[in-house]
């Protein structure tokens, strides 16, 4: 599928602007990391697609997420096993699949942190433009801020990709500034 086709598929399952934005942010983060890791164009597209579609079934099938997508929707549309397994691994508590491969680890690492950073950006007049790592880490310590975001998953994600949390945050700030 082309990017346009993947976006159209996403929009057939998701109407919420905030969830569409989250999906695009995770796709952007995944693409940036794939480029940073010097992946080839085909692999960059897989990483972007996994990021884009990771929450495909969240709005219509929240109790079945991500199993509805990985077992029914994505296989029927011909998506690669690599993309399907990455999406499965972004929610190990629901699928039993822990993130193991590189794409799986990066998707896990980018998902919750991207959502959290978006929440931080919404509190700032200049959004990501002048955001500092310290702004994000300070909010991470406030358990009442974006309380539904599991802090341990954010820390685990950084460990999974072998980065200090501050470096992971810094990388994503740069991604979202552009």
* Average pLDDT value for the chain: 97
Contact of 87 with 54, CB cutoff 8 Å = yes
pLDDT score for 1: 85
Residue 131 belongs to domain spanning: 3-177
DSSP annotation of 62 reads G
Residue bearing tokens 């972007």 = 48
Angle, helix 102-122 to helix 41-53, in steps of 10 degrees: 50
Percent of the chain with pLDDT over 70: 100
Q: Would you state the pLDDT for residue 22?
A: 97
Residue 46 has pLDDT above 80, yes or no: yes
pLDDT (average), residues 22-48? 98
The pLDDT assigned to 55 comes to 98
Q: Is residue 40 scored above 80 in pLDDT? A: yes
Give the tokens for residue 114.
């991207």
0.85 exceeded by pTM: yes
Q: Would you state the pLDDT for residue 81?
A: 97
Residue 160 tokens, joined: 């999974």
Residue 178: the pLDDT is 76
How many domains, in total, are found in the chain? 1
């Amino acid at each position: 599928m082309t990017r346009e086709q993947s976006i159209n598929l996403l929009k057939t399952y998701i109407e919420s602007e905030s969830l569409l934005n989250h999906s695009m942010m995770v796709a952007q983060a995944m693409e940036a990391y794939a480029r940073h890791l010097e992946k080839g164009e085909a692999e960059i597209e897989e990483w972007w697609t996994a990021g884009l579609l990771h929450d495909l079934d969240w709005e219509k099938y929240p109790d079945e997420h991500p199993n509805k997508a990985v077992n029914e929707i994505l296989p029927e549309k011909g998506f690669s096993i690599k993309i399907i397994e990455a999406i499965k691994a972004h929610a190990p508590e629901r699928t039993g699949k822990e993130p193991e491969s590189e794409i799986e680890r990066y998707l896990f690492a980018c998902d919750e942190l991207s959502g959290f950073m978006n929440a931080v950006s919404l509190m700032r007049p200049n959004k990501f433009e002048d955001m500092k790592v310290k702004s994000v880490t300070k909010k991470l310590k406030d358990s009442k801020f974006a309380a539904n975001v599991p802090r341990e998953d954010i820390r685990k994600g950084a460990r999974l990709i072998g980065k200090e949390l501050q470096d992971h945050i810094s990388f994503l700030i740069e991604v979202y500034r552009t």
